[in-house]
Amino acid sequence: MNRRIIKQFIYGGFFLAVIFLIGFGIYWIFSSKVSCFDNKQNQSEEGIDCGGPCVSCRIKYPKNLNASWIKTLPAGENKVIAVSGIENPNVEVGSEFSYSINIFSKDGAVLKTLNSDSFIYAGEKKYLVDVLDADFKNIDKAEISFSNVHFRPRSDFSKPKAEIREFKTEIFSNIASSTFSKFTRELKSGMVGSDIKNLQNFLKFEGFFSASSTTKFGAATRVALTNYQKKNGISPVSGYLDLKTRNYINSKIDSINNSNASGGIFPISVNGVVTNNDVEKISKVVIVALLRDKYGLLTGVSKIELENITAAESRDFKILFPSSINVKDINPAATEVYLYPKK
């Protein structure tokens, strides 16, 4: 082998060695670079890639949401209310999530399943209230589970400033002690008759009419009936007692009269005022009311949802309870009201 070829091998080997060393150096520099994404606990981190100079461990690794209890209560014929007490143990993150409620029969079969969505703020405890179609007498237990839990830092998902300024528990014993007559004709603005007074008493009983009852169909009656139609999904919203509305109300009257005939069962409402103290509009507010008896036991739960409460606005609310609740069991002074606003 001549000297020229030997030199080429030497130069080539040297060149490859230099390339290798440069590549190894680059690899070593980048592979050993400390960061919040290197899957290692370093640079004064409290955990792997969290704490210290990195994002808080409470944000990066939040704890699971907790469901401490769930209870079912009768809510009329073939209906039950499921109320769940849940908690977010994380003080730095809130959450939007989906949940499922399963109602089981005494033989272990699933009677009904409900799927819904909700939210909870950092460190918050709240109640979820849902109505399901099921016969209370056949229920053994209920279970709740969470899915699609999306945690958000408290700075991005803060609770709007809103408050319940005042509330009271009202029992309609003065109206419910008597029965209502069923309606036999259409009723419109300007009409007069004893059935107008009967309609006003019914609307007052349902929480939609607050004026004194008369025998004339005036503006207050029309507004109350319009709101009743909207609340109960009766279409068209006509503001008068048309055939569809009359049939709907007559069926309700049958139920009320039958309840009154059984003795001691009267509808209850919780009335109050909610105020938006925030500088922005609150798109949705869920208000939950809990009724307790003289021993502090939970006997009734209901809720109402309000929408688009503008900044500094105060709005009245009325939460109605099913007629299956026995008024003799209720301690009005023990009523609890909870507010869950969302922007």
Average pLDDT score, the chain: 86
User: Which residues does residue 153 pair with via DSSP β-bridges, in sequence order?
Assistant: 93
Higher-confidence position of 193 and 37: 193
What value does the mean pLDDT take over residues 56-64? 89
- Identity at 48, one-letter amino acid code: I
Q: Does 84 have pLDDT greater than 90?
A: yes
Backbone φ/ψ region at 22: left (φ over 0), alpha (ψ -120 to 50), beta: alpha
Question: In this structure, what DSSP letter does residue 47 have?
Answer: B
CA 152 to chain CA centroid, Å, is 18
Phi and psi, residue 164, nearest 5°: -90, 115
pTM over 0.75: no
Higher-confidence position of 219 and 17: 219
- C-beta separation of 119 from 342 below 8 A: yes
pLDDT range class, residue 1, cuts 50, 70, 90: low
Query: CA 214 to CA 224: how far, in whole Å?
Result: 14
CA 302, 305, 311 angle in degrees (round to 5)? 135
Per-residue model confidence as pLDDT tens digits over 139-177: 999 999 999 999 999 989 999 999 998 898 887 655 544
Higher-confidence position of 20 and 209: 209
Q: Does 213 have pLDDT greater than 70?
A: yes
Cis? peptide before 62, omega within 30° of 0:
no
Question: In this structure, what DSSP letter does residue 193 have?
Answer: S
